[in-house]
Amino acid sequence: MGSIVSENPHLVCIPFPAQGHVNPFMQMAKLLHARGFFITFVYTEFNHSRLLRSKGPEAVKNSPGFRFETIPDGVPPSNPDATQSVTELLYYTQKHSVAPLRDLIKRLNATEGIPPVGCIISDGIMCFSIKVARELKIPEVQFWTASTCGLMAYLQFGDLVQKGIYPLKDESLLTNGYMKTPLEWIPGMKHMRLKDMPSFVRSTDPKDIAFNRWLEEAQDNLKSDAIVINTFEDFESEVLEALASMFPNIYSIGPLSLQVKSLPKNIDSDAKMPSLWKENTECLAWLDKQKPDSTVYINFGSIAMMTEDNLKEFAWGLANSGHPFLYACTTWGIGLEINSVVKREEVCRLVKEMMEEETGKIMRKKAKEWKRKADEAVGEGGSACKDFNHLVMELQRLSFNGR
C-alpha cells in the first residue's frame, strides 16, 4: 500500500480536456498544492501528447508533491494538434474513461511514497468520476470552471423538455422571434430568454447528444460532495444564492487567474502552464507601443471557428474601424462553426460604438469596476479568499474523514 502522509492529503484533479477548462484547473491545483495538498493532475493521453509538443517535457514534469498522470478519452483518432469535439469528448469519456480512472486510483493507492487518494476533484462535465469515487468510497468534488449562471442554465435543460420548449419544432424558430421566449422561472436569473441559454438548445433533435449529455452532467453535479465555482460572490450573488438553496455546499473561489498571482514565482511556474498550442509572444512588443485603452482585443477561444468569408468580414470590419487591434487565434479549420453571417459594416459599427461612443465608455467603465471588485474578492478578507480557506478545510475534512 502507499505510505500514509497525514499532513499531505492527496487530491486527484481531473479537468475536461479543453484549454478553457485545463487553465483554471491548473490554477486551482497550484493554489491547493501551496496549502499543503499532494496533487495528482490527470491529463488525457491526447492532451498530454499535445503539451509535450507545445511546451516540452517540463510542462508535465513531476515535482515534490505535484505529479502528472494520464487516462485515455476513448475518442477515435484525429488530427493530433486539433481541438477535439466537445460533443465527442462528452460522449466518449462517459463511456470509456471509467475503468481507466478506477485503475489509476487503485495504482496510486498501491504506490509506495504516495499518500492514499483522499478526494477526487473533477470537472463539472467529467461526472463519470463520481461513479468511480462512490465505488472506491472516496469523496468527490465537482469544479465548475465557468460561471454559476452557466451551471444554473444547464440545470434547466430538463424543464425545457418538460415544458415543450425543447426540441425546437423546426429551424424557422431560430429566426422568427421564438428565441426571445422569456424563461422567467429560472432561479436567480431575471429576464432570461431562450436565446440567452447555451447554444445546445438550438436543436430540433430530441436525441441530440450534446444537449442530453449537458443535461445529465449538470444534474450529476448535484450528486457530488461539494461544488467549486470559478466566480465570486458580488459578480453572481443572486444565482449563487439560488443554487445554494438547491445544493448548499458551494465554494466560489474566483477569479482563479487573479488568485494564482498571490503565489510565489517558484510555485506559479510558467513551466506548468498547460498551453496546448505553441505560444507566439512577438505581438506583445507591438502591444506595448500602443496607447492605453486604444486597442481592440479579439479572442473567440480555442473551440469556435469561422468560415473564410466571415473571417474576411471580421478582418475588414476591424481594419475599417481605424482602431489598432490584436486578434488572438489558433489554427483555422478545427472546432465548431459560428453560423451567424458576419458583415464588415456591422463589425466596424460595433467597434466604433465600443471605442468612441458614450455607451462604449460606460461599458468599459463597468468592466474596470468589475475588475476592481474581482481584485477585492481574491484579496485578504475578500469573499473568494474566505471561500478558498473554507474549501481547504472542507477538502482536509473529506480527505481524512471521508464523506
Provide the CATH topology of domain 282-371. Rossmann fold (3.40.50)
Q: Name 306's Cβ contacts closer than 8 Å, sequence gap at least 6.
A: 300, 314, 337, 338, 342
Paired sense of beta strands 250-252 and 226-229, if any? parallel
Check if 10-277+383-401 and 282-371 are the same fold.
yes
Instruction: Report the b/e string of 351-389 with b at 16+ CB within 10 A.
Output: bbebbeeeeeeeeeeeeeeeeeebebbbeeebbbbbbbe
Q: Which of 21, 73, 220, 387 is catalytic?
A: 21
Q: Does residue 59 contact residue 274 with C-beta atoms inside 8 Å?
A: yes
pLDDT at residue number 3: 44
191 carries an active-site annotation: no
pLDDT at residue number 287: 86
CA angle 361, 364, 366 (to 5 degrees): 110
Domain ranges of the chain: 10-277+383-401, 282-371
pLDDT, one tens digit for every residue, the chain (403 residues)? 444 445 689 999 999 998 899 999 999 999 999 999 999 999 999 989 988 888 788 888 999 999 999 999 988 887 776 778 888 998 999 899 999 999 999 999 999 999 999 999 999 999 999 999 999 999 999 999 999 999 999 999 999 999 999 999 999 999 999 999 999 999 999 999 999 999 999 999 999 999 999 999 999 999 999 999 999 999 999 999 999 999 999 999 999 999 999 888 766 555 566 766 566 777 888 888 888 888 888 877 655 666 778 777 878 888 888 888 887 765 543 333 344 677 888 888 888 888 888 988 898 899 999 999 999 999 999 999 999 999 999 999 999 987 6
Short-list 310, 283, 309, CA closest to 295: 283
φ, ψ of residue 349 in degrees (nearest 5): -60, -45
Q: Which of 10, 33, 73, 123 is catalytic?
A: 123
pTM value?
Answer: 0.88
pLDDT at residue number 335: 35
Q: Name 381's Cβ contacts closer than 8 Å, sequence gap at least 6.
A: none
Which homologous superfamily is 10-277+383-401 in?
A: Glycogen Phosphorylase B; (3.40.50.2000)
* H helical segments located in 11-97: 19-34, 45-54, 86-96
Q: How many residues does the chain have?
A: 403
Set of cell numbers at residue 332: 483555422
Alpha-carbon gap, residue 94 to 90, rounded angstroms: 6
φ, ψ of residue 70 in degrees (nearest 5): -135, 155
3-state secondary structure of 134: helix
* H helical segments located in 85-193: 86-96, 98-109, 128-135, 148-154, 157-162
Backbone φ/ψ region at 333: left (φ over 0), alpha (ψ -120 to 50), beta: left
21 carries an active-site annotation: yes
pLDDT at residue number 260: 94
